[in-house]
Chains A and B, each alone.
Chain A
C-alpha cells in the first residue's frame, strides 16, 4: 500500500512538473483581451474625431456641391511662321549687288526697297522690293556679290501672327477638335497666349504617327519666336457637374473609392462612383448627396484609423 502511495506521489510530481511547463508556456490572458477590443472597433466603420484632432491632422471638411470641371490635354509643339506670311524675295535678273538697304531683323513695308542690283545683261540697276510688311529673317546677298536669279536674296516674314503646331498623338485624336481653346506656353519665363484650334491635319505622319493641330497666335509683342518649343494645353471639355470633389477627398478603402462623409455618429467611409476627372478634381456620379459634409482633405487619417485593427502587432516588417 505504501508503495502505491509513493508511486502516486511520483506520478503526481511528473504531472505537476509537466503541468507547470504547459501552463507557463500558454499565452497571457490580458493580451487576448486587448486584441478582442481592437476586433470590436473594426466592426463599426465609424471614426469619431474631435475638433482639435481635425486641426491637428489637417483634416478639412467641405459641402458636396456642383462645380466646373475642365478637362485638358497637354501637347508638345513648336512655333512656326505661317507659310502665307513668308515672302521669298528673288533678284529678278542675275547681277551684281550695288546697294543693300536692309539687314536681318529690320522691319520693312510692302514695296520698300531692300537692295539695288545691276543686271548682268542689261547693266542697268533695278530695285529689289519687299513683297509684304514684315521682318527680314534671312539675307543672302552682300555688297558687290554677283547673285543669281534662282537664289532668293531675302526672306521677309510677317510675324504679327504665328502658328503653334501641336503634335497630336493617337490617344488625343478623339478628344481634340477644331475650335477648342488652347493655352500655349513656353515655360515659366514667357507669358502665355490663348488661341483656338484652327486646323487638324487630315492625315497622320507616317514616321512619327502623329497628327498636327494648328493654332494661330497673335504675336504683337513678338515673343512667340518661330522655332520655340511650346506646350499647348487644350481644354477638351468644360462642363458644369452636379457633384465635384477634389481628388484629395478620394481614398481607396477595401478596394473601393470612398469619400468620408460626416454623419451624426462620426465619419463614415462611403463608396462612390467616379465620373470624369482632371488633375485636381473628380465628378462624383453616385454615393454622395449634394449638401452632405465630407472630408475634402486628410481622409487618409480616417482611413488609417479604420485600418488600425488590421495593423496587427509584431508583423510590421
Chain B
C-alpha cells in the first residue's frame, strides 16, 4: 500500500494522464449506453404464437399447443414452458434461465419450431415467434385521424397495414409495427346456399374454381431472331369483376358465373380486437415495438422523425397521432435522477466548502465525484447496464459516499500540511498523511461495497430491478476508492497549499462553523466520557425506540413505479361478444370523457396483429389522455384525477375496472405471475374433472384457518355451439366426417380461396355463406351436405347440435393442464398454513389418478429468497467482520464498530415511520447502504482513537481529543451522504417513489449513527480499547 502511494506520488503525470483517460473512457461509455426508463424486468422468454382462426381452445391445445410444447422440451437453459390455448390463438411461453442470451434462445426455439410445424396439421396455423422485444418494447402507440371523414375503417386499416407499417419498420431499432382496429380488407365471396342447390354446385367446387382462375405463370422463354422472349401468362384476378366472372360450370354451353352463386364485395376480416375512441367511434391504430437491447431514446427519436415524414406522404386529411409514448417516461425518469444527481453534487460541494473552509481541498474532493461517476460508466458499459432510473439512482445515492474516502484523505493531508513546517517539501507531508489513512479508507470503502453483496443475490423481478443499482453503487465506490488512494494524494500535492500562516495552531485555522460546533460538542463528549452509563443509556433508549416503532411499520413489495400514463383496464364477462364489448367500452369511454380534465380516451379491446398483446375480447385497455395541466379545474393532482375517474367508471354494471400502467401491464403479462401469496396448482388431464377438483380444493382450503380470498381460476365460461357428427347417420349416406366438417368450416367460418393482388398489396379472398344462412343455430342446422350419390342432406340430419359452456382457455405448464387456486393467508404463519392445507387436501380429497397439487406463489419466492439470504447475509457479515478485524487486529474494536449497525437501523426505522412509508425492497436497500456508511464512520473515529492511544495518550483523554479532532471528517462524511440524498428525498418526479424510501432510511439512519459515532463511541471506547501492551508483545 505504502509503495503504491509512493509510486503514484512519484509518477504524478502518469497518474493524471490515467485519470484523464478514465474520465474520457467514462464519457465515451456514457454516450454508448442505452437509455431506458426503468431496468427491464422481463424474463428471458421466447413466445410462440399460432393464430388459427376459428378454432376452439380444445382443438388449439390438441393440434397446435401440444406439438409446439413437445418440440420445446429439453432445450438447454430451459426454465419452464407455459402455454395458453385460447379461442383461435395458441401462445406458448418458453421461459429460459435468467441471463440467457435472447438470440441464442430464439435460435434454439426456431430450430425446434421446424419439428413442431411438421406435427401441426395443414391449415391449423403456422407457429411464429413473437417480436425480438421485451415488456418494455412498446415504445409508441398512434392512431390514424381522418379529418375528411371520407375514409372507411377498412381503407384506413389498409393504409396502416400497407403504407405506414412498412415505412416505420425501416427505422433501425424497430422490430415490429402491429396494427389494430378497423377492418382488414378482404374480398368476400358471399355465397347463397340456395343458389348452390339450384345450380348443383358444392362449396368445395366453388373454392376450387376460384383457386383455378386466379394465377400467373412463367413458361421460360422462346428464341426469336436471336433474342430471348420471356413467356409469361397472366391470369390473376385484378378486380371484383374478374372474380365475379369466374365460370363455375357450364351446362350445355351455358356458363354459370360465380356472380350467379354469390355476391362479391369488399369487406372486413374476422377480428378479435378493436380500437375505439371517445365513446363515439372506432379508429385504426398501430403499436411500435422496439428491438431488444436497442437504445429507447434513440429509437423513439427516430420513430418520431419518421412519423413526420410519413404524415407528409399520407393521403390528405389523414394524420398519425401518437397517443402513448415511452419517450416522455424515459425523459421524466432520467431527469428525475439526473436532477437529483446534479443537486446532490451541488449540495456536497457546499458542505465541502463550509467544512474545509478553503477552495483548494474542496476542489480535490469534488473531483472525486466526476471521476467515480465516469468510472462507474465504464463499468456499466462493460456489464451492459443501461442508463435508467435505478442505475442512475444508484449513482445519486452514492454521491455522498463517493467523496468520503477522499474527504478522509484530503482532511488528513490538510491537517498534516498545517502541522508540518515550511522546510519540508509538501510531498513528504502528503505522503505521510496518505499512508496514515490509506488502510482505513481501503477497508471502509471495501465494507461499503461488501454490504451491497446481498443485493447481487436477489432474483427475479427484484433482482432485475435492483441489481443495476447495486452495480452502479459498487462501481462508483470502487471508482472513489481508486481516486482516494491514487489520485487524491497526487491532486492534493498539486493543488493544495500549505496554509500561509503555518504558525497558527491548527484549531485557530479551522473555520468558524467548526469552531462553533466544537464548542458545543466538547462539553457534551467530555461529560459522556465521564458518565459512560449515560452514553449506554442513550444508546439503549434509541434502540428501544427503534424496537418499538419497527412493528408499527407497514410492509409492501417494491413500491409501484409511476409511469405517468393513466391506463384503465376493463375486464368484462368472459362470454361477451365483440360488439357488446365495444358497446360497453364506449359507455365507459363516454363517462370518462365527461370529466373536464380528460382530452381523449383511446381504448384497445382484445388483440390486433399478434405479437404484443394476447388479450381476449373481454379485456380492454383504456388510455386516458389529459388536457394540459393549466386547463384542469376539478382535479389538482393526478391522484385526484384518478379518484374522479374511479367515481365515474368504478361501478359500471358488468365491468371490472382497475388502474394500471402500460409497461407494468405488459411485464405482468409476460411474467404471468400469480399475485396472491399462495398459488395452489392442480395438475390433471380432464378439464371437467380438473375444474370440479379445483373447486373442491378451494372449498377445503377455505376451511383452513387463516385462508382469505380463496379463488380458483375461472377457466370455463365460453358458450359453444357443439356440432357432433353422428357416425351412424353419416354412414347411411356414405358421407365422411371430413365432408361435414369442411362444409361447416367453409360455410360458417369461411375459407380463404387465394388472394387478390393490388400491386404488392395482397388481400384474402374469403368464401363464406351469406350471413342469414349461418348466424343462428337453426340456420346452421339447415346447411346441406352433399352425399356421394348426389343427395343433399341437412346438417341436423347428420350431427347433433347442442349449446354448451366450454372452456375459456386451457393453461398448461410443462406440458400438463392445470388450474390455479389462489389464496392469501391472514393472521398466521404461512408455512404452517401450507402444512395444514396439504394435510387437509390429503385427508379430504382423493385426487384421481394422475392428478396432483403443487404449492407455489409469492410464498415460494419468499422462501427461496430467505434461503438465499440466510446464506448470503451471514457471509456478508463475516466478510465485514474479517475486514474490520484485519483492519484493527482487535476483536474489541471490531465489536465496537459493529455496534454502529443497530443504532443506524433505529434512525432508518424512525425515518420511515415519520414519513409514513413502508418497509419495502428499496428501504431494505437503504438499510444495507446504511450499514456500510455507519461502519465507515465508526472506523474513521476508532482508527484515530487507536492512533492516539498508541501515541501514549490516556484512554479518556484520547477519547475526548480524538472525538473532537474527528468531528470534522465524521460530520462531513455523514452530511455529504445525507445531503447528497436530500434531492432524492424531496423529488416528486417519475420514479421518485422508488428512491424515496431508500433515501429516507439512509438519511434517518445517518442521524442516529452519527450521534452514536460522536457521542457513544468515545464514551464507551474505554471498554473496547485496544490493549497497547498486547500489541507490543
> B733 on the interface (CB 8 Å rule)?
yes
Whether the Cβ atoms of A56 and B921 lie closer than 8 Å is no
Q: Which residues on the B side are within 8 Å of A3 (C-beta)?
A: 891, 895
> Do A171 and B797 form a contact, CB below 8 Å, given A10-B877, A18-B873, A307-B573?
yes
CA separation between A57 and B778, bound complex, in Å?
A: 28
> A238 on the interface (CB 8 Å rule)?
no
> Do A14 and B733 form a contact, CB below 8 Å, given A36-B709, A311-B571?
no
CA separation between A234 and B361, bound complex, in Å?
A: 105
> A293 on the interface (CB 8 Å rule)?
no
CA separation between A27 and B198, bound complex, in Å?
A: 68
Counting chain A residues whose Cβ lies within 8 A of the other chain, the interface size class is 35 or more
> Do A14 and B805 form a contact, CB below 8 Å, given A26-B677, A300-B580, A313-B675?
no
Q: Which residues on the A side are within 8 Å of B709 (C-beta)?
A: 32, 35-36, 39
> A24 on the interface (CB 8 Å rule)?
yes
- Inter-chain contact count A-B, CB under 8 Å? 203
B890-901 vs A, Cβ < 8 Å mask (1 yes, 0 no): 011001001101
| A53, A311, A313 interface centre (most CB from chain B within 10 Å) | A311
For the complex, count residues of B whose C-beta is within 8 A of A. Answer: 94
Whether the Cβ atoms of A300 and B576 lie closer than 8 Å is yes
CA separation between A29 and B714, bound complex, in Å?
A: 24
Binds B, one of A84-92, A117-125, A206-214, A218-226: A206-214
> Do A27 and B677 form a contact, CB below 8 Å, given A36-B709, A317-B809?
yes
B723-739 vs A, Cβ < 8 Å mask (1 yes, 0 no): 00000000011000000
B902's partner among A13, A53, A231, A305 (CB-CB below 8 A) is A13
Whether the Cβ atoms of A209 and B791 lie closer than 8 Å is yes
Whether the Cβ atoms of B714 and A312 lie closer than 8 Å is yes
> B194 on the interface (CB 8 Å rule)?
yes
Q: Which residues on the B side are within 8 Å of A76 (C-beta)?
A: 194, 197, 784
Q: Which residues on the A side are within 8 Å of B54 (C-beta)?
A: none
Q: Which residues on the B side are within 8 Å of A2 (C-beta)?
A: 892, 895, 1023-1024
Whether the Cβ atoms of B865 and A25 lie closer than 8 Å is yes
Whether the Cβ atoms of B901 and A9 lie closer than 8 Å is yes
Closest CB in chain A relative to B708 CB, distance in Å: 6
Whether the Cβ atoms of A207 and B919 lie closer than 8 Å is no
CA separation between A56 and B590, bound complex, in Å?
A: 11
Q: Which residues on the A side are within 8 Å of B796 (C-beta)?
A: 169, 171
Q: Which residues on the A side are within 8 Å of B826 (C-beta)?
A: 32
Closest CB in chain B relative to A39 CB, distance in Å: 7
Q: Which residues on the A side are within 8 Å of B627 (C-beta)?
A: none
Whether the Cβ atoms of A317 and B675 lie closer than 8 Å is no
Q: Which residues on the B side are within 8 Å of A49 (C-beta)?
A: 653
> A316 on the interface (CB 8 Å rule)?
yes
Whether the Cβ atoms of B778 and A27 lie closer than 8 Å is no
Which residues in chain B, 546-589, are within 8 Å of chain A measured between CB atoms? 554-558, 569, 571-574, 576, 580, 583-584, 587
Whether the Cβ atoms of A316 and B616 lie closer than 8 Å is yes
> A51 on the interface (CB 8 Å rule)?
no
Which residues in chain A, 250-267, are within 8 Å of chain B measured between CB atoms? 252, 255
Whether the Cβ atoms of B714 and A169 lie closer than 8 Å is no
Closest CB in chain B relative to A153 CB, distance in Å: 23
Whether the Cβ atoms of A22 and B84 lie closer than 8 Å is no
B854-892 vs A, Cβ < 8 Å mask (1 yes, 0 no): 000010011001100110011001000100000000011
Which residues in chain A, 1-19, are within 8 Å of chain B measured between CB atoms? 2-3, 5-6, 9-10, 12-14, 16-18
B194's partner among A20, A28, A229 (CB-CB below 8 A) is A229
Q: Which residues on the A side are within 8 Å of B538 (C-beta)?
A: none
Which residues in chain B, 818-858, are within 8 Å of chain A measured between CB atoms? 820, 824, 826, 858
Q: Which residues on the A side are within 8 Å of B920 (C-beta)?
A: 24
Beyond contacts A10-B881, A208-B789, A312-B713: 9 other A-B pairs, Cβ-Cβ < 8 A, are A10-B898, A18-B866, A20-B927, A24-B555, A27-B824, A171-B796, A207-B789, A255-B805, A304-B573
7 A–B contacts from the bound complex (CB under 8 Å)? A17-B869, A21-B865, A35-B824, A302-B654, A305-B654, A312-B571, A314-B674
Binding site for A on B (CB under 8 A): 84, 86, 91, 194, 197-198, 454, 554-558, 569, 571-574, 576, 580, 583-584, 587, 614-616, 618-619, 653-656, 658, 668-669, 673-677, 708-709, 711, 713-714, 717, 719, 732-733, 776, 778, 782, 784, 789-794, 796-797, 803, 805, 809, 820, 824, 826, 858, 861-862, 865-866, 869-870, 873-874, 877, 881, 891-892, 895, 898-899, 901-902, 905, 918-921, 923-924, 927, 1023-1024
Binding site for B on A (CB under 8 A): 2-3, 5-6, 9-10, 12-14, 16-18, 20-29, 31-32, 35-36, 39, 47, 49, 53, 56-58, 74, 76, 169-171, 187, 207-210, 229, 231, 252, 255, 279, 300-305, 307-308, 310-317
